[in-house]
Amino acid sequence: MKQFSLEGKVALVTGGAHSIGLAIGIGLGKAGAVVCFNTSKEEHIESGVAAYREAGVEAYGFCADVTDEKAVSKMVAAIKEKVGSVDILVNNAGIIKRVPMCDMSVEDFSKVIDVDLIAPFICSKAVIPDMLEKGHGKIINICSMMSELGRETVSAYAAAKGGLKMLTRNICSEFGGANIQCNGIGPGYIATNQTAPLRERQADGSRHPFDQFIISKTPAGRWGTTDDLVGPAVFLASEASDFVNGQILYVDGGILAYIGKQP
């Protein structure tokens, strides 16, 4: 359907060389967008380009620390010079530090806030002027179920993702009248290489305790996949979502709607 086409659009995905960012970038590319991805390390550009190419998408890699405003401005200018100004921004780069709150240093707390909240502010600020000039733009912030819920050991992450939810709503409030839509995607528990050890069967054939916990809390009865996030991302990047603004789309298999099974 034409309203879902991204032909002629330039997309920037931060942290887009692997995992969720890579899957979303590939999805945007297959929908027609020119894909640019960001990575914090030069050595990841080549492997990222290869991963996109293997999926049938030509992508351009750019290295920048997304917490550095000058570096981000330079990256956005380089993208504009190479392929055109950014129409679609996916603020995907993020980190998590699982440390009990009273054991967590202020430095570690601040680092999570910098990457998960300040960086989306910096990147959005860098692309919005061109979006205003063109009269349209899409910003997609990768939020989390921790934008709604707390959990042990993730005080910094939950604080950042809760803040990102409100930044999403404020960008909508400030720029919605200029035909810029800012929405979020809140992934549930996604099967990635990082979570693979938590999904391995035990020696007796039983599930890992955390795997059991997630399955019991998920009405879908499974972990999500990175591909589960592609359709929502294409929708929020396309004209099909032009009257959707300031919303967080939770792609969680129903966890947030579910109190859990009665014992």
DSSP one-letter code for 114: I
Return mean pLDDT, the chain.
Answer: 96
**Would you state the pLDDT for residue 261?**
79
d(CA 35, CA 30): 10
Asked whether the predicted pLDDT for residue 26 surpasses 90, the reply is: yes
Contacts for 174 with CB less than 8 Å, ≥ 6 apart: none
Encode pLDDT of 192-250 as tens digits: 887 888 898 888 889 889 999 999 999 999 999 999 999 999 999 999 999 999 999 99
Please name the residue ranges forming H helices in 83-222.
106-113, 119-134, 155-175, 196-199, 209-217
Residue-wise burial string across 239-261, b where 16 or more C-beta atoms lie within 10 A, e elsewhere: eebeeebbbbbbbbbebeeeeee
Domain boundaries, the chain: 2-189+224-257
Asked whether the predicted pLDDT for residue 24 surpasses 90, the reply is: yes
d(CA 160, CA 101): 14
**Would you state the pLDDT for residue 248?**
98
d(CA 39, CA 21): 10
Catalytic machinery residues: 157
**Band (262; pLDDT cuts 50, 70, 90):** confident
Encode pLDDT of 38-57 as tens digits: 999 999 999 999 999 999 99
**Would you state the pLDDT for residue 70?**
98
Q: Is 63 helix (H, G, I), strand (E, B) or coil?
A: strand
Domain 2-189+224-257 sits in CATH at 3.40.50.720
Encode pLDDT of 148-206 as tens digits: 999 899 999 999 999 999 999 999 999 999 999 999 999 999 998 878 888 988 888 89
Residue-wise burial string across 200-213, b where 16 or more C-beta atoms lie within 10 A, e elsewhere: eeeeeeebeeebee
Which pTM was predicted?
0.96
Q: The sheet that has 88-91: what strands, in order across it?
A: 59-63, 34-39, 10-13, 88-91, 137-142, 180-187, 248-251
**Would you state the pLDDT for residue 41?**
93
**Would you state the pLDDT for residue 195?**
84
